[in-house]
Amino acid sequence: MSETTKSVKSRREFLKNTGRIAAASALAGCAVPHVHAAEDNTIKLALVGCGGRGTGAVANALSTKSGPIKLVAMADVFEHRLKASYKNLNKQFGDKVDVPEDRKFIGFDGYQKAMDCLKPGDIVIFTTPPAFRWVHFTYAIQKGLNVFMEKPLTADGPTSCRMLKLAEEATAKNLKVGVGLMSRHSRALQELAQRIQDGEIGDLILLRGYRMHGPIVFFSSLPKPPGTSELLYQVRRFHSFLWASGGGFSDFYIHIIDHCGWMKNAWPVKAQALGGRHYRQSPEGPTYIDQNFDVYSVEYTFADGAKFIMDGRCMMGCDRIYSSYAQGSKGTAIISKSGDCGLPSSTYKGQTLERSNLIWESKVNPDEQNPYQNEWNDLVDAIRRDKPFNEAKRGAEASLVTSMGRMAAHTGRIVTFDEILNCEHEFAPDVDKLTMDSPAPLQLGPDGRYPVPQPGINKQREY
């Protein structure tokens, strides 16, 4: 048994015992007793990727109540982002944030330095652009660390294969891994999934998902400003570049794709799709040179022939539709009323969504209405009680299914699950070797634009 494995096992047993004490004390209405300093039951956190999502994840972690927890290290490639995140967290959580200057790391190797500040059994949070997920996860497993990582986990077939293998390695080491697909921790969706799988609306025939709104975050990008690093420009505006994130399709639509697969209790086996770019250039307006399509429509097919339609749009002035539905042989369900997992979820007799046909409508304890907090409560509880908890395989599969639909739209042909899994096109094969001086994985063409998908022309690769 390696020293890391021994250390993980020892720390896990200690946290498990203190977790039991915390649970018993909570039931008795007592405070958790202090332990000797040599037996510190504080879980320490390191944050890798200090943007808004990372800052929010730390806030959720520090808001858990099952025992002491604090942030001790931070890493990012942008110093201003790290400083802003630290300032906000320190103001909100005070002494739960213990990150002196020598535990703040800037650069592409910062993830290693941040994780080196932790002990086996602590938690590292990955909220960088998804391209770096497998690199960081590899090091976390080597260090014996529990992990929370934001979605999507991958953007292409080769990294999905890598992530699935890493998921197995994490399970073999009994590491706890949370993935930021928070719909799975919505108590309403959990009850709905059980009702659907118990047959409340019959056999599922059709699922529908919609995410339609104007351009948000870094969905569209103008040419790089002079004097700016090409690599850092693409990392900062990661939603615009397929190598960094899978583009807007993967980053925006994965939540609905994931929870619709959950309701069906299966992943689609193939996808056909269409999509296009609109309003990208005009004599009066700017020229956007990102890789995204403005509209997507994907028809996923399950092994039993059932269908799932996912429609996405990022265009100004159009109707906003952001919800999901399940239609069965006996009835219909609203999965998410608004957003990725908006309350209430509900089921109906027949196919008409009228109150007179209502079978069930979710009612959630106010303390458990926030799925972002629920996912952290569930992860930390699993760590303290040493319960099996590893969402990496499911997160990788959800990412792969999302990429399958995106690839179908970008190539103009039917793409199967096995095909995307075994596709040889890795968008950024040397991402683990990047430094501040490296060239960007995506280069401008002779026309001064980034390569974009050309359905029907480039049929084997997305660009």
Domains of the chain, earliest start first: 3-183+372-389 (3.40.50.720), 186-368+399-433 (3.30.360.10)
Q: Which of 84-98, 137-151, 218-232, 282-296 has the lowest mean pLDDT?
A: 282-296
The residue type of 231 is L
Indicate if the alpha-carbon torsion angle 238, 295, 398, 375 is positive or negative: positive
∠ CA(321), CA(149), CA(333), 5° rounding? 35
State the Cα–Cα distance between residues 143 and 424, nearest whole angstrom: 29
Matching residue, tokens 């976390």: 140
Per-residue pLDDT band for 36 (boundaries 50, 70, 90) equals very low
Per-residue pLDDT band for 28 (boundaries 50, 70, 90) equals very low
User: Is the pLDDT confidence value at 31 over 90?
Assistant: no
Please name every residue paired with 325 in a beta bridge, in sequence order, or none if there are none: 208, 334
User: Is the pLDDT confidence value at 13 over 80?
Assistant: no
Residue 127, pLDDT score: 98
Mean pLDDT of the chain: 93
Indicate if the alpha-carbon torsion angle 31, 23, 46, 216 is positive or negative: negative
Q: Is the peptide bond before 152 cis (omega within 30 degrees of 0)?
A: yes
Residue 17, pLDDT score: 61
Q: What is the CA radius of gyration of the chain?
A: 23
User: Is the pLDDT confidence value at 285 over 80?
Assistant: no
Residue 220, pLDDT score: 93
The residue type of 92 is Q
| Mean pLDDT confidence for 291-299 | 97
Per-residue pLDDT band for 277 (boundaries 50, 70, 90) equals very high
Residue 286, pLDDT score: 72
Please name every residue paired with 43 in a beta bridge, in sequence order, or none if there are none: 69
State the Cα–Cα distance between residues 12 and 352, nearest whole angstrom: 51
CA distances to 131, 164, 167, 363, 396 from 391, rounded to whole Å, are 18, 11, 8, 26, 9
Indicate if the alpha-carbon torsion angle 262, 263, 269, 270 is positive or negative: negative
| Mean pLDDT confidence for 341-345 | 97
Structure tokens at 205: 């025939």
| Mean pLDDT confidence for 307-328 | 97
User: Percent of the chain scored above 90 by pLDDT?
Assistant: 88
Comparing C-alpha atoms, which of 347, 307, 308 is closest to residue 191?
347
State the Cα–Cα distance between residues 436 and 438, nearest whole angstrom: 6
Question: Beta strand 146-149 with 123-126: parallel, antiparallel or unpaired?
Answer: parallel
CA distances to 241, 242, 296 from 451, rounded to whole Å, are 10, 10, 18
Please name every residue paired with 321 in a beta bridge, in sequence order, or none if there are none: 212
Matching residue, tokens 């907090």: 373
CB 276 within 8 A of CB 408: no
| Mean pLDDT confidence for 388-403 | 98
pLDDT digits over 59-82, tens only? Answer: 999 999 999 999 999 999 999 999
State the Cα–Cα distance between residues 8 and 175, nearest whole angstrom: 9
CB 367 within 8 A of CB 348: no
CA distances to 295, 305, 322 from 212, rounded to whole Å, are 9, 26, 6
Per-residue pLDDT band for 241 (boundaries 50, 70, 90) equals very high
Structure tokens at 345: 């979820």
Per the confidence metrics, is the pTM higher than 0.85?
A: yes
Residue 449, pLDDT score: 85
User: Is the pLDDT confidence value at 26 over 50?
Assistant: no
Per-residue pLDDT band for 247 (boundaries 50, 70, 90) equals very high
Q: Is 144 left (phi over 0), alpha (psi -120 to 50) or beta?
A: left
Q: Strands (DSSP E) along 202-257, which ranges?
A: 204-213
Residue 35, pLDDT score: 35
CB 441 within 8 A of CB 234: yes
